Each structure stands twice: as structure tokens, then as C-alpha cells.
Chain A
Amino acid sequence: MSYVGIIILTVFGANALLSYGFALCPISRNRGLVRLYALLALVLVNALSSGLLWALRGFVLAPLGLESLDLLLFVLVAVPVVRILFRSVSERIPSLAGLGLAADEILVSSIVFGIALVTARAGYSLPEALVASASSAIGYWLAVVALDALRERLELSAIPGPFRGAPAMLISAGLMAMALMGVDAMFVRNVVGP
């Protein structure tokens, strides 16, 4: 599939939040996720982590036939490397301190682990894996921003008591997911070509 196809598919059809349900718990608590710093951190952390996991799987685990241990190696190697990298960048450039904090917050969550595992196991090449993980992060952020805007409107609406808050937000997310169900790999191939 072309890079444009991968981007459309991972942002809409295989959205990290609405199709995979990754990092669903924090969106009801962490409102900082809608900030631009969070988007930048999501894209950079996901692309770096996925690239590292891709390399670890391809060059270390695959020759030994131990691909099923990818999660353990990811925790032991990729997570510390990404954490140290972001900490050192934010220490050297104080204006990027917010980025370091945001990266630290999202690093150990199912959004980073999930996207890294899905892209590493999908059989992509390295550039494709980087594009897929970065666009997955953008898709996740767009869904979070849309849900946050919906939540603000829901807070002002007259809805039955038990549905107020998280239940209404989950049902809204379900309706959004339903709207995106038609965007699958076949649809994307038909639109942008193979």
C-alpha cells in the first residue's frame, strides 16, 4: 500500500482509539492530551518506539526465532532509550521541558506499546512503520480532540443522570467508530490505488 493509503487507513479506518481502543482510560481523566505538546510527544514517542521495536525484531529477535519476546525487549531496551533521549533533550533545551513531561507521561501506556506492537507485527518496511506509527498517533490525537469537544457539549446537554460523563462519552465514541467502520483497507485501495 502507498504511504498516502497507510496514512488514511491509520488515521481513519484503523484509528488507534476508535478501532483498537488503545489508551482509552486516560482520556476520561487527562485533559492535557488535547494540547499541541501532547500531539508532538505522541508522534515523536510513537515513531521512535516503533522504529526501535522494528529494528529489535528484525535484527535481534528474528534471527534467533524469538519474535514472541518482542514486548520484553521493548520494555528493557526501547522504553529506557526513548525516556533517556527525551529527558536529555528537555534538560538541554528548557523550552522543550513540556515536551519531555508529556513524553514521560505517555511512554508507559497502551497507545505507545500497542502502536509499536501492531506496526512491528504488520510486516511493514522501516519507513512504512515510521509513517504508520506517526499517523496512528495523529489519528489518536484527532479522536481525543473530537471527543473532548463532544464532552464539552454533552456537559451542557440535558441527558439522564446515569449517562452523564463517561457513559455518554463512550456512547459518543461508539457512534464515531461506527461512522469510520466503512474506511477499511479495501476502500482505501480503491480510493488511492494499491
Chain B
Amino acid sequence: MKSERAAYVPNPVFGGLLGICPLVAAANSLVNGFVLGAGAALSVAVLVAFLPLIQGFVPDRLRAPASLALAAGLALLVAAGVEALSPAVARALGVYLPLIAVSCVSLHALRRAPAATDLMRGESTGAFGAGSLLVEAALYFGAATFIGAVRELAGSGTLSFPMPGSQAFLFSLGDSSPARLFAAPAGGFLVLGCLAAAYRAILRARKRSA
């Protein structure tokens, strides 16, 4: 009998440790995490929409390079968009914006995107259909923003909200003495390690209570 329950999608960042490279190094503020997460999620959504076309029209041998070129083109478009909207954020994120193309979340989408025929029938070929990939992208966006917010609060004592233009809207916590380490990559590793442990503890507690 076919199950009606939707497939469980673990959090790609805290559960699967996918696409954590830019989050460790560059997501040191809410706005940076938001932009990285949104860029990767947008990239996955467009890949999910367009990869079936590539699978349908491009010969087998050229599919992998064409898919990668599509991902690279998307990452460059995201980088150009961020540069146009907020040059300061684009400068802060530097090489990590084009690297969205080879982030594990995008590569996961490249490998798992369902075939065109399955999409048309509304079915997916495996555990990771188009819907699951989109849910994963949304979870990645949320996790990236959350990590950015935690690191900024701990590392600078502020929260910067994304706004178009050169300046983000800054909310300060007053006269706090923040631990600047959390804004550095070393702090990124520590924050991500602790959040991944907390995620596991919550999952275990849920399993026990179920």
C-alpha cells in the first residue's frame, strides 16, 4: 500500500552537514547568512526546474558539464544581483557567492533532481524528489540565517537586517562586550558543532517521547 505521509527531510545543515563551508567562514552576520541561504535556495529551486529540460535535450555525455555550467551561471547571477543590491554584502561574502555553484546543497540537487518524465507525472524517482529538494533548500535557508544571527549576536552584539543599499538595518543590543571569536571562522566551527549537537539532542528527545 502506498503511504500518504510525506518523506521526512532532515535539516541539511545540522543533520546532514551539507553546504556548511560558506556558513563556517562567511555567515558571520544575519544579513550574510540570509544572503548565502537565499542564494543557495534560489539556485536549487531553479536547478530543480531546469535540470529535467537538460536531461531531456542534452546528450548523455554532455549532461554533467551542462548541469554544472547551469549551476555556475546561476551562482554568477546571484553574485551579480547581490552586488547590485548591496555592494557591501557582496564584498563581505567575496568568493563564497560564486561558490554556491559547487556547494554541497547545489551538488546534491544536481545529483538527485528527478527526470523530466517523473516530474510531469508528479512522481519522484527516489527518496529525494523535487519536493524534497525544495524543502531541503528552504531548511538550508532557515539554518543559514539562524547561524548568521547566532554568530552576529555572540560575536558583535548586534543584528543586521537585510536592506537594499549599502547599509543594513542594524539593531544593537546596547553596551554588551561580545566575544569576537564567534565572528571568525574558528567561532563558526564552534557554533555549528554546538548547534548540530543540539539538533541531535532534540531529535533523540522527540524519538524517546514518541
Contact = CB atoms under 8 A, between A and B. Distances in A.
Nearest to A121: B95
**Chain B interface, DSSP helix/strand/loop, else mixed:** helix
Interface in B105-137: 107
A118 B98 CA distance: 11
Given A68-B80, A72-B69, A24 B20 contact: yes
A166 B196 contact: yes
Nearest to B184: A181
Contacts of B200: 161-162, 167
Interface string B16-37: 0111111111100000000000
A177 interface: yes
B98 A117 contact: yes
Contacts of B19: 25
B58 interface: no
B185 A76 contact: no
A149 interface: no
Interface in A157-191: 160-163, 166-171, 173-175, 177-178, 181
B46 interface: no
Interface string A138-171: 0000000000000000000000111100111111
Given A25-B17, A108-B107, A174 B187 contact: yes
B204 A76 contact: no
Given A24-B20, A76-B69, A161-B204, A117 B95 contact: yes
B101 A71 contact: yes
Contacts, number: 123
A25 B98 contact: no
Interface residues of A, number: 43
Given A71-B75, A174-B186, A163 B21 contact: no
Interface string A86-126: 00000000000000000000001110011001100100000
A69 B21 contact: no
B204 to A, nearest CB: 7
B102 A110 contact: yes
Interface of B: 17-26, 65, 68-69, 72-73, 75-76, 79-80, 95, 98-99, 101-104, 107, 181, 184-190, 192-194, 196-198, 200-201, 204
6 contacts: A68-B76, A71-B101, A76-B65, A108-B68, A110-B99, A160-B197
